[in-house]
Amino acid sequence: MKFGWKIFLLCMGIYIVSLTFTGIVVTENTYNSLLKKEIERSLEEEGHLHSTLALYLLNNKRLAREKIELENYSQSIVDMFKTENNYLEVFDESMNLLASNATKTWFLPREELKVALEGKKNFILRRDAGQHYLFVSDVLQIDEERIILSLIKDITHIDNHRREQYFFFTRIGVIGLVFVALITWIMSKFVMKPIKDLSLTAQNIASGNYNDRAKVTGRDEIGLLAEQFNIMASEIEHKINQLKEESQRQQRFVDNLTHELRTPLTSIIGYAEFLQKVDYDPGLFKKSLSYIQSEGKRMLKLANTLMDMILLREKAYQLQKHRTLPLLAEVKDIMSVKAGEKGIRLKIQGKDMEVVIDRDLIKGVVINLVDNAINASQKGKVVILGTEEVNGKQSIYVKDEGKGMEEWEIEKVKEPFYRVDKSRSRKEGGIGLGLTICNQIITGHGAELAITSKVGKGTTVKIIF
């Protein structure tokens, strides 16, 4: 069942239960109030009747100047009291009916008469043939004689009033139900609209439209839900874009790897086929085999580098505290020969710091960065190995005065097989995996590789811990 129907039926149920409860409580309260007032009025009326009859009989006794027989006055008493829907019965002490002006006789146990004989005025309610009666009983005594007066009132009109009130509530309830149903339906449509919009947005996102967002129209629960949904959708879109970028990077990796393998294989196969076809010439054979050997070594280097990347991914780093300046001094000593051959000066600057690292791996990273800096620099330039704090974080950096890179190349240099200077890299035996491995090692330390570069001014590579 749809949520809108659930809201509608819930409102209808609440309305019906509330109206029914209210109708019953109000009607029964009114009925009991009217019945109580009718009983009080009847008791008061019987009291007036008792006083009037007592005065009447005493007056007759005074006039007659002799004892009167109450039984002889029974019919006169009944005739004196005759109103619509009100009746009077007179009984003797043996509860025999002496006189009555009622339209019927009640052959019922008359417990109220026994109570009256005990000197207690009382009343009782009875139903008979669809009518409702109130019986009020009391004893009238003159001298030593006693008779029982039973005032009977037809109070069926109170029951009719209750029935009419129930009919009234039913009619009003049906009319109100129509209006409430209409209003509830309209309100449920209004309330459900943001939810339907949210559902439609979810369907659009599920179908691939990841940039679709739900409209936030308020700060209620639905508005907050839509806001959280948009945050979730943004995260999903971000993750999808990351997956796409990763897929593209993986595809580029496969394409580049295929290219890197195909080039030496083509050379090896070409020279092998050439040697099979030509006559033996020692010089030519030696030169061809030299090319085959160099291309084979290049493939072996590629395979070893890829294996290093796999091992680095699974390796547990041996992290310990080490000083930075002694580490940079070692790198400077190792790279000084190559720098000297190219006429480039290596320089260390910055203060000594203590960092938690795998010393051999970070040392290899710095060596690779210095090697790249030397390759990118011209004779007479300076390559700086330094330390500094970046926003309260310790860092090691390598800075050159080389030709630099375009801004769009900065992120690409971290990708496998990418070379800024492809011709020079191939000539020097590079396969474009150096910075990829460096970035992997740095990430494994929980650090960040940050590159800044300007064309013609040089490049700075920082390891920020």
Which tens digit of pLDDT belongs to each residue from 331-390?
A: 999 888 889 989 999 999 999 999 998 888 888 889 889 988 998 888 889 999 999 988
- Can you state the angle between helices 3-64 and 156-206, rounded to 10 degrees? 170
Distance separating alpha carbons of residues 212 and 376, to the nearest angstrom: 46
Domain segments of the chain as ranges: 3-100+110-162, 211-314, 316-464
Output the pLDDT for position 424: 45
Distance separating alpha carbons of residues 332 and 337, to the nearest angstrom: 9
Kindly report the CATH class assigned to 316-464: alpha beta
Write down the mean pLDDT value for the chain: 82
Cβ-based neighbours of 85, under 8 Å, separated by 6 or more: 153, 154
The sign of the CA dihedral 31, 36, 37, 39 is positive
Q: Which residue has the higher pLDDT, 97 or 284?
A: 97
Which tens digit of pLDDT belongs to each residue from 244-283?
A: 877 776 776 666 566 556 667 777 888 788 788 787 778 8
Which tens digit of pLDDT belongs to each residue from 379-437?
A: 889 999 999 988 889 999 999 998 888 887 777 777 665 655 554 444 444 445 567 77
Domain 3-100+110-162 annotated CATH 3.30.450.20: yes
Which tens digit of pLDDT belongs to each residue from 184-217?
A: 888 877 777 777 777 888 888 788 787 777 777 7
Strand partners, 322: 355
Output the pLDDT for position 423: 46
Output the pLDDT for position 8: 79
**Is the pTM value of this prediction over 0.75?**
no
Domain 211-314 annotated CATH 3.20.10.10: no
User: What does the block give as tokens for 188?
Assistant: 């449920």
Mean pLDDT for the stretch of residues 50-58: 84
